Structure 1
Amino acid sequence: MPLNMGLLTSLQTLQVFKVALEKGRRLEELGRLKKLKGKLTINGLQLVGNREEAQTAYLRKKPNIYKLTYVWSHDEPERCETNDEYVLYSIQPHPNLKTLEVVDYLGTRFPSWFSEELLPNLVKLELRSCKMCREIPSLGQLKLLRHLELVGSYELECIAPAFYGVEVSKKGIIQVFQSLKELVLVDMHSLIEWKGVELIPATNGARDEVRVRMFTGLEKLRITKRPLLKSTPNQFEILRELEIKGVDSEMPLLNLCSNLTSLVKLKVSDVKELTCLPDDMLRNNVFLQHLSVSHCGEFRELPGVNYLTSLQGFWLYNCDGLTSLPSGILEHYRSIDFLRISDWGLHRLTGLRRLCIGPFSEMVDFDSFQLIFNDIQQVLSLRKLEVYGRLQRDSLPYQLMELSALTRIYITDFGIHGLPRGLANITSLEKLVLWRCKRLQHVDFLDAMPTTPSIAVKYR
């Protein structure tokens, strides 16, 4: 940063301010810039010497800044021993703030200004790599908050009822996170329990209880890399998109879905104990359009999937325990636009345009692999095909040469030495990509093609 930025007292736009130790580059320079507006990122907060220095930024007196990003960089060789909690407490923003991001903060808790009273206009909040955080602020009463992202809180073991910001109430029904549309929870390696709250005591001192409605507007929920998580709330009234990945227990998924009827998109990956998707969950979400299940080693069956008459995209792969699909499952899905499967045969899909087959385990021999292609010739709408093989497979399925309507083919991880001349039968071919086919020596079918397609050969 230039020296003495604070002398530019008429400055209105400053996207980044980088704190340094030398005088003229400290945080106090921001305090003199009273006309700042728009977005501001403050880097190097680990170099703030003490609480008093942090207060000299006077961010509470800058009403025209609508987005603030606070960044600590504890890996830098230069730093002060100031407690991060003191610094964050002292750089409280103006109540007009709409977006706040906090990155690499190493405090164990957050200051009290994370509240509806002091941040009444906050719409978006991201807390990233707050690795030492053991409790998250009470955010449920932020009435305008629409997007909340919590990433990398490694020490957090429980999301407690205090998260919702309600203890007692005189109202008949109280809502928390009433405007929240999207919630992202990622990289919480110690998190075991995410508690909800349904009832709280009334303020009249009687035995009456007040009902709490949570996440009444939440549409998207993403939970990834939380391997120890065992429990979650199930109070999601209109949730449309759910992604859960990297969770050992199946219980969070089952609990999240127990009351859902509004899902449009469901993505499940690397849930180690998951054996099946509950029949009731699929029956109750008939408007589901996109379903993906992958890398679930214990996944064995897919009951109730025939209820999904609105399905448009279907991904099911790298689930080694799944040996077959329910009989006639794909005959119900003539409107599917995208399909990716592994380890079983295809049926009639008259609207399919893109298809990805594989990868497959070593247990699938080449004869079984070829059987997958038996019905593909009937899919006259197919235009793009991706095929994954293994280095031990030195030939391509013969049925591939009969798919004359294909315009794009992607061939990956085969041990072929050359391409069969039968590919010249695919007269509509515009693009051919070969990935990691490390034994490939020639592509001599081109002279038989009416027009030469684009060809790319990549070995890694």
Structure 2
Amino acid sequence: MPNLVEWKDVAEPITTGMVFPCLEELTINQCKQLTSAPYHFPSLKKLHISEICNSAFENIWSKLTTLTSLDIWDMIELTCLPEQVLQNNASLMSLEIWRCAELVSISSHQNVTSLQSIRIIGCEKLMDLPNALLTLPSLETFEVIWSPNLRSFPSIQGVGSRLRKLGISCGDEVLSTGLQSCTSVSELCIKDCPNLISIPDLCKLHSLIRLEITSCPNLKSIPDLRELHSLIGLRIMNCQKLTRLPEDLHCLTCLKSLEIGGFGEELDAFPSLSSTSLKHLHSSLQTLYLYGWDRLNSLPDDIQCFTAITGLRIHKFDVMETLPEWLGNLSSLQFLSINDCKNLMHLPTAQAMQRLTKLELLRIIECPKLRERCAKGSGAEWSKIAHIPDVDIIV
């Protein structure tokens, strides 16, 4: 309701003294001009607010005491999450704040002992977080992502026994050694850390099943991974000073998904994946995502060894004009996505494409030259892909 300005409270009822006595869930989305709203919500448990004026939001939360879940999205006027929101809602279990561009800080309160999940995503001006947030006794998920101006990440020391999911985005050069104590963490994401040069040893994180290290342009090396035997998903992307892959990938015997790329832009080729020590990955890896950079004009030949993969995504190989003939050897492939390859014109030969007998979905996204050549019925490459059940070409 883009033109809604006022949601009026009704006159005080004579009988009950309140307006919404039973309402438990309230969602307000994309009412950018809404400046006022009722505040009689004595039973409200779940509140989702997106794109409304700060004054209306203040009305709504001013008397809330029963919240268990609070989501705040795209509130451009919000500069600080008021302490009263946490102080007055002792049963709050989940707090999410997404894309609040002016948010600078968040107050904390020890009263919210039930809080299990805190997620703060895409708040670019966020500068400070209190250490007390990570000492909450029930906390299992703590994610601060896409917030590169956070001066320092809250202390992790001593909180590792209960955390299950941890996301880190900050301006630190070196992450806290307390990360080593997070032995119960199953998912770890280190993302958008512009100054980060060092990550502490992760060898004690034996519960880790997913690890992501992305958009850390000054990171020069990846910590030892050899003890992470439970890892099934690994993502290392857009770390421009990396020039090689971790040497201990062969120890990751459970790895099913590997996403790599965006490495040292001075490199003319992808870091090698051909080591004989990676042989077990050739038969166990299921999905592979390759992210290129400007200097690359071809896919790494090493990946033709990964004959068991069922999904392959090729992204940002801008110079490449032709996909290799050996692509047809990936006989288990069910899903192939080609994304943002501006100069790509040629698929492998028709014979190679026909060997991909299990390929069910081909997705071509933002590849202008290939899109034209794959036009249904008329494109020069169409005959190569006409047999694929689902071809999705997106501008």
Cα deviation, residue 115, structure 1:
4.3
Q: Does 2:295 match 1:316?
A: no
Given the superposition, is the C-alpha separation of residues 259 and 35 from structure 1 closer, same or farther in structure 2, using an over 3 Å criterion? same
**In 2: Cα distance, 1:134 partner to 1:284 partner:** 38
The whole-number CA distance in structure 1 between the counterparts of 2:156 and 2:228 is 25
Q: Residue 428 of structure 1: which of 353, 357, 374 is its match?
A: 357
- Which shifted more, 135-144 or 293-302? 135-144
Could you report, residue by residue, the CA deviation over 1:108-145 in whole angstroms, capped at 9, with x for unpaired residues? 544443446x3221111223455444431224552221
Match of 1:47 in 2: 35
Match of 2:275 in 1: 327
Return 5+ residue gaps in structure 2 as ranges: 374-378
Aligned-pair CA distance for 1:237: 3.8
Per-residue CA deviation, residues 337-368 of structure 1 (Å, 9 max, x unaligned), is 3242xxxxxxxxxxxxxxx5x454454556xx
Instruction: Name the TM-score, length of structure 1 as normaliser.
Output: 0.64
Other-structure match for 2:229: 286
Cα separation, 1, equivalents of 2:393 and 2:363: 6
Normalized against structure 2, the TM-score is what? 0.73
Question: Which of 143, 147, 169 is residue 184 of structure 1 equivalent to?
Answer: 143
Q: How many residues align structurally?
A: 368
Check conservation: 1:133, 1:153, Cα contact below 8 A.
Answer: yes
The Cα shift of 1:242 comes to 0.9
**Contact between 1:152 and 1:188, CA under 8 Å: does it hold in 2?**
yes
The structure 2 residue matched to 1:271, chosen from 216, 231, 235, is 216
Residue 394 of structure 1 and its aligned partner are, at CA, apart by 5.5
Matched, 1:65 2:44: yes
Per the TM alignment, residue 421 of structure 1 is displaced from its structure 2 partner at its CA by: 4.2
1:146 to 2:92 alignment: no
Instruction: Provide the rounded CA distance (Å) in 1 between the counterparts of 2:355 and 2:277.
Output: 29
Q: Could you tell me which amino acid in structure 2 is paired with residue 283 of structure 1?
A: R
Partner of 1:124 in structure 2?
A: 94
Q: Identify the residue that residue 194 of structure 2 maps to in structure 1.
A: 248
CA distance in 1, matches of 2:83, 2:188: 31
Give the Cα separation in 2 of the matches to 1:339 and 1:387: 11
How big is the shift at 1:190?
2.7
Q: Whole-Å Cα distance in 1 between the matches of residues 40 and 279 of structure 2? A: 65
Unaligned 5+ segments in structure 1 are 2-17, 49-53, 165-175, 199-212, 341-355
CA distance in 2, matches of 1:318, 1:310: 24
**CA distance in 1: counterparts of 2:136 and 2:168, whole angstroms:** 17
Query: Offset at 1:383?
Result: 5.2
d(CA) in 1 for partners of 2:291 and 2:32? Answer: 45
Does 2:367 match 1:456? Answer: no
Q: What is residue 168 of structure 1 aligned with on the other side?
A: none
Whole-Å separation in 2 of the counterparts to 1:334 and 1:372: 10
Contact 1:417-1:439 at 8 Å conserved across structures: no
Structure 1 match to 2:376 = none
8 Å contact from structure 2 (residues 334, 360) kept in 1 = yes
- Identity, % of aligned pairs? 17
**Greater C-alpha radius of gyration:** 1
CA shift digits 1:46-68 (9 cap, x unpaired): 624xxxxx8x7244xx1x32112
Are the equivalent residues in 2 in contact too, given 1:161–1:195 (CA < 8 A)? yes
1:371-450 correspondence runs (5 A): 371-372=301-302, 375=305, 379=307, 381=308, 395-401=322-328, 413=341, 415-416=344-345, 420-423=349-352, 426=355, 428=357, 431=360, 433=362, 435=364, 436=367, 437=370, 440=373, 441-443=379-381
Comparing 264-273 with 231-240, greater Cα deviation is found at: 231-240
Aligned to 1:307: 251
Partner Cα separation in structure 2 for residue 424 and residue 318 of structure 1 = 27
| Superposed CA RMSD | 4.2
